Amino acid sequence: MQVGPEGRAARQKSPRPGPDFGDLGIVLRSHKLGEADKIIRVLTREHGKRSAVAKGLRKTTSRFGARLEPFTCARLLVHTGRSLDIVRQAEIETSFHEVREDIALFVHASGMAELIDGITQEHEPHPELFDLMLRGLSLLKEYPTRALFTAAFFDYRALALAEQLNGRAPNVLASIKDLMNDAPGATLTRQLASERDHFVLNLHHNNAGVGIAAFLAKQRPSYE
């Protein structure tokens, strides 16, 4: 997808390196960088979604240990970089290792992280979404047998918050419920997964509001 004028302008206005900051963060995902480092995508409560390098994270002697595993909620000290931040320190608040070690819970948590990653922009703080992510992970940990309900609750709340944060009407939540109720033969779980993917796909526009409008304008999905 080509980047429009808004996207080019945003890149031209990328922030200069700044001071360190401390914040709570939830690791959404990570990928390898070189032989020993990783780039983590982390949702912080007061500083938004960040991409940061954790140096030496893949070494067995890493000072971070398991503090930056997926879904871990940690208190972070981060240095603001020009393109990528650098994690200076990390102290675990809640590890959520129970979620990582159960394949079914891991799948649900991964879907939650994907959705949050898809509906948020870099460096834009949304404490409501951070709190929702933390609550969702806590529910998966505390009530593993109710994971399907937790996933449904999370998807509905996340999409509703996305609508509120972008100031769109009509209400996204109500629209999604209408689409699902009129989809014969589709289980709730399949419907939620389909609507989430559909919503996130349409949010990949230069303007998030345009993405939401595109989602609302779509005809009822077939769930095939």
Mean pLDDT per 10-residue run, the chain (224 residues)? 41 54 94 83 95 80 78 94 88 94 92 88 91 94 89 82 64 53 55 63 57 54 42
- The pLDDT of residue 34 is 74
- The pLDDT of residue 149 is 83
- The pLDDT of residue 194 is 66
- The pLDDT of residue 22 is 94
Contact 204, 184 (CB under 8 A): no
- The pLDDT of residue 38 is 87
- The pLDDT of residue 13 is 44
- The pLDDT of residue 48 is 93
- The pLDDT of residue 195 is 64
Helix/strand/coil (H/E/C) assignment for every residue in the chain: CCCCHHHHHHHHCCCCCCCEEEEEEEEEEEEEECCCEEEEEEEECCCEEEEEEECCCCCCCCCCCCCCCCCCEEEEEEECCCCCEEEEEEEEEECCHHHHHCHHHHHHHHHHHHHHHHHCCECCCCHHHHHHHHHHHHHHHHCHHHHHHHHHHHHHHHHHHHHHHHCCCCCHHHHHHHHHHCCCCCCHHHHHHHHHHHHHHHHCCCCHHHHHHHHHHCCCCCCC
- The pLDDT of residue 68 is 87
- The pLDDT of residue 5 is 46
Domains and CATH numbers, the chain: 5-95 (2.40.50.140), 98-217 (no CATH)
